[in-house]
Chains A and B, each alone.
Chain A
Amino acid sequence: MGNTLILEFEKPIVELEKRIEELKIFARERDLDLSDEINNLQVRCDKLKRDIYSSLNSWQRIQLVRHPQRPTALELIDLIFDDFFEMHGDRLFGEDSAMIGGIALFKGEPVTVIAPQKGRDTKENIERNFGLPHPEGYRKAIRLMKQAEKFGRPVITLVDVVGAYPGIAAEERGQGPAIAEAITVMGSLQVPTIAIITGEGGSGGALALAMGNRVLMLENAYYSVISPESASIILYKNDQHAKEAAEALKITSRDLLEMHVIDEIIPEPLGGAHKDPKQMANLVKEALDRNLSILKALSKEELVASRYERFRVLGAIAAQ
């Protein structure tokens, strides 16, 4: 990728890569054999990458999942599923392009796929309201979930959303009730539900689509009750402490696995999903396939009961 945005913590890697490139050119121009030096640097560079990317703090991971080149839902859907057929509208008020949904094939079998959709550039972001859904987006999701249940299709959600849109019209049309209903409906479906947090898991707007029998999460994704910036404003009266707030909120995939909020971490290609979307999709496919076959063996009643139990224990306080 040519003009990839370079994040602050990636600078040492980029520096080293530049030196290797320069050395290669120098060797070619002077016709020198510098392959030992170049190999050495390459080994150092690979180690540096592994070191940096494996020890990212919460704030650095947030920057990675907000990377402008991070694959959006549509790109991932294209790589994970076949023949995605999109369906529009909530049949109540309108069409919300910040939320997409439809039927696709996974390993030859139809599934319902639902996801908030961010834009890939400014123009697309304006069209898609920066991937911030209105109530009609959540109601479209609810409609498609019920459709999936009717036809016995599993529901797969890909969740990358800063949050539900905070706006006048959104409030007037019932953003709160729409989210509550999506939580309830997805949480009660008699078909397998798998949620994959692929980027930003922003509060209620993400939870509305994350009521999975299994909740999977990409390595660098976060899932939080509040954005670190907003938490910083509440705690420190300004947004300059988002980094500390991000740590305190415990929002990384590892934190959440420990708390059993998620069931599994899907590893990302070195440096993040955007470095190799195809490999990312393959890793998702593997996890999806494995989890789906476990869930397919369960009866409708077992699916509903085990999902209830899965969420029943989260933050439960022992009987006193």
Chain B
Amino acid sequence: MFKDLFRSKPKYVTVRPNRQQDFSEKKEIPDGLWVKCDKCSNILYKKDLERSFSVCPKCGFHFVLSAAKRIEQIADENSFEEMDADLETADPLGFPSYMEKLKKYQEESKMKDAVITGRAKIGGIKTVLIVIDFNFMRGSMNTVVGEKIVRAFETAVKEELPVVVISGGGGGARMQEGVLSLMQMARTCLAVEKHSQAGLLYIAVLTQATMGGVYASFASQADIILAEPGALIGFAGPRIIEQTMKQSLPEGFQTAEYVHDHGHIDHIVARPFLKDTLAHLLAWHVR
């Protein structure tokens, strides 16, 4: 059983009856009773999909999760206390049509920006949890995302807590905040380093998609790097690489499995096993 959690190629269809929860209001799964899988195109009964952690029971495809749903799946029930919930960008460059775009995302997601941070318990262990929401401007990093991550790591240092990051940042650093988004790579890396020098544990879970400035900063600087099956992980976007090299990309390029096979990921963990895996790893590092 315990060994099973660390199988390198877990089957993704496993449903654990004891972990069934009520996954109502799943905004990332379209309304209606039936859902089509993005990968295998099978028509799935929505309730089944929700029971299987939003993993396709037919092909194992991991649907993108909202930050709220993520927290629900990972944090112990009622243990999550959000931090810095009200931070909002000041649109530092006055970038054309940025605020309109941002407002739209804010209204859709009920979030101020692309990250939620807070204190949580995972398997009973107090942890600082940072979850990036890919649905919010592709989880790109701006001044708010950077600020909240830095504050979360600083809180973890002060309270001597481990940090778990669930990344998702397909957009990398957010263009609309220009060089100040770039500077968030610097700030988050240094905050991670401070946490590391305090001897504290940092686990990153790389999920669909972790690219550019997010991957090239805090997301790849963890003590333990996990990834969800099939997640796109890399520095440069696949289209840019194709254009630059003028050749087609290898099969499965930049998927979690590919990046794992090239030595950059400790373990690929299917979503139904994620909470237990995190809980065990955290338990082994309790001081």
Query: Which A residues lie at the B interface, using CB under 8 A?
Result: 164-168, 170-177, 179-181, 183-184, 187-188, 203-204, 207, 211, 223-226, 231, 234-235, 248-251, 256, 259, 261, 307-308, 311-312, 314-317, 320
How many residues of B are in contact with the other chain, CB < 8 A?
Answer: 61
Assembled-state Cα–Cα distance A316/B253 (Å) = 36
Closest B residue to A226 by CB, please name it.
B175
Interface residue B240 (Cβ < 8 Å from any Cβ of A): yes
Query: Cβ of B93 and Cβ of A250 under 8 Å apart?
Result: yes
Interface contacts beyond A165-B244, A188-B190, A224-B179: sample of 20 additional A-B pairs, CB < 8 Å, sorted by A: A167-B236, A168-B247, A170-B235, A174-B264, A175-B235, A176-B235, A177-B216, A177-B264, A183-B185, A184-B221, A188-B193, A203-B173, A204-B173, A223-B179, A231-B175, A261-B179, A261-B183, A308-B194, A311-B190, A314-B186
A312–B150 CB distance below 8 A: yes
Chain A: minimal CB distance from B155 (Å): 13
Q: Which stretch (B84-92, B102-110, B118-126) binds chain A?
A: B84-92
Can you report 27 A-B residue pairs in the complex whose CB atoms are below 8 A from each other? A164-B235, A167-B236, A168-B245, A168-B247, A170-B236, A171-B254, A174-B264, A175-B235, A176-B215, A176-B219, A177-B220, A180-B221, A183-B189, A187-B186, A204-B217, A207-B186, A231-B175, A251-B178, A256-B179, A259-B92, A311-B186, A315-B92, A315-B143, A315-B147, A315-B177, A317-B87, A317-B144
Q: Are A167 and B241 in contact (CB under 8 A)?
A: yes
User: In the complex the two chains form, is A173's CB within 8 Å of B262's CB?
Assistant: yes
CB distance from A129 to the nearest CB of B (A): 11
Where chain A touches its partner, the secondary structure class is helix
A289 to chain B, nearest CB (A): 26
Residue in A179, A235, A251 whose beta carbon sits within 8 Å of that of B235 in the complex: A179
Any A CB within 8 A of the CB of B96 = yes
B73 interfacial contact with A, CB 8 Å: no
Complex formed: what's the CA distance from A223 to B151 in Å?
26
User: Which 10 pairs between the two chains have the least Cβ-Cβ distance?
Assistant: A166-B236, A315-B143, A315-B180, A176-B215, A176-B235, A175-B235, A314-B183, A177-B220, A176-B216, A179-B216
